[in-house]
Amino acid sequence: MGVRHFLSLEDLSLDELWAVLDLAASVKATPEKYAHALNGKSLAMIFQKKSTRTRVSFETGMFQLGGMALFLGASDIQIGRGESIADTARVISRYNSMIMARVYGHDVLEEMAAHATVPVINGLSDALHPCQVLADLQTMRERFGDIRGLTFTYVGDGNNMAHSLMLGCARAGVNVRIAAPSGYEPDAAYVAAARSHGQVTGAEVMVMNDPMAAVADSHVVYTDVWASMGQEEEQAQRLIDFEGFQVNGRLMSAANNDAIFMHCLPAHRGEEVSAEVCDGPQSVIFDEAENRLHAQKALMLFLLGAG
């Protein structure tokens, strides 16, 4: 088999998805077993966008696996001065075992993967954020055990998180509801892809404009910031357009009694989520953030055949 990339959850078969999640649980429970698994390996981390969780979890994860990670800001390497993405990928592949890139356009990742001779990992693009969803699924399994048949509701902007959550949940047999204001629904192509997975796993995928109806009887309620990186100039308009879409106590009361609240972070308390929910007993946001470390360690082990 050739080089495996992870640009989307679509890059894993269903069996591989479960295998990576099982490995993530093992890595979390017995980290010492994997302390030398990637000795001598290195991860080049390219950042066009700022990061807290992605940078720290990947860098720490490589260290804990016995390898090393290199931070490469866009202004630190020649890609910021016009060197092509293809040449950058070819050169970095000669030095490193893997490449993780956090970018704006998803096409950047696709071009990088087309020319890299080592695995390329999507650390976030404007279209998808699959590493976050691995951590989300791990967190859900920790709380509920078998997650197949659960109902997952995402409230907010139909952005890269909504796209990846639809794909990941539908693949895992979890019913997905996306509640977004009119005009902010997720991309139709990702909705169609998620529904095709749902036909295999039995998961239902719905896109709605009524957050209260969407949250009814849900096991998981999830949200994200209303203006993502690069959309700051739209902030004021989005505050108007997203009125009524805040995840607060009233909205959570419509969910299941044992429902959990999730957020990929950073959270803007008072905007997409109220402080009472974000910091309340149903919130698992910091468990979720921690699981970025374990899920990504498992992913890197899988991609390098070291798991």
DSSP element (H, E) containing 46:
strand 42-47
* Among 264, 278, 282, 294, the one annotated catalytic: 264
**Among candidate residues 7, 26, 18, 288, the one with its CA nearest the CA of residue 171:** 18
Q: What's the rounded Cα separation, in Å, for the pair 99 and 183? A: 35
Q: What's the rounded Cα separation, in Å, for the pair 217 and 199? A: 22
* Among 129, 141, 163, 294, the one annotated catalytic: 129
Q: Does residue 224 have an active-site annotation?
A: yes
42-47/98-102 β-pairing: parallel
Q: What's the rounded Cα separation, in Å, for the pair 137 and 126? A: 21
* Among 138, 157, 224, 282, the one annotated catalytic: 224
Number of Cβ within 10 Å of residue 105's Cβ equals 13
Looking from the CA of 68 toward its CB, the CA atoms found within 13 Å total: 4
* Among 5, 48, 64, 102, the one annotated catalytic: 102
* Among 5, 53, 64, 132, the one annotated catalytic: 132
The edge-to-edge listing of strands for the beta sheet with 151-155 is 205-208, 175-179, 151-155, 220-223, 260-263
Q: What's the rounded Cα separation, in Å, for the pair 92 and 97? A: 9
Q: What's the rounded Cα separation, in Å, for the pair 44 and 94? A: 11
Q: Does residue 132 have an active-site annotation?
A: yes
Looking from the CA of 195 toward its CB, the CA atoms found within 13 Å total: 12
| Gyration radius of the chain's alpha carbons | 19
Q: Does residue 102 have an active-site annotation?
A: yes
* Among 141, 171, 292, 294, the one annotated catalytic: 292
Q: Does residue 169 have an active-site annotation?
A: no
For 181, residues 6+ apart whose C-beta sits below 8 A from its C-beta are 209, 241, 242, 245
Looking at residue 232, what DSSP letter applies?
A: G
Q: Report the catalytic residues.
A: 102, 129, 132, 224, 264, 292
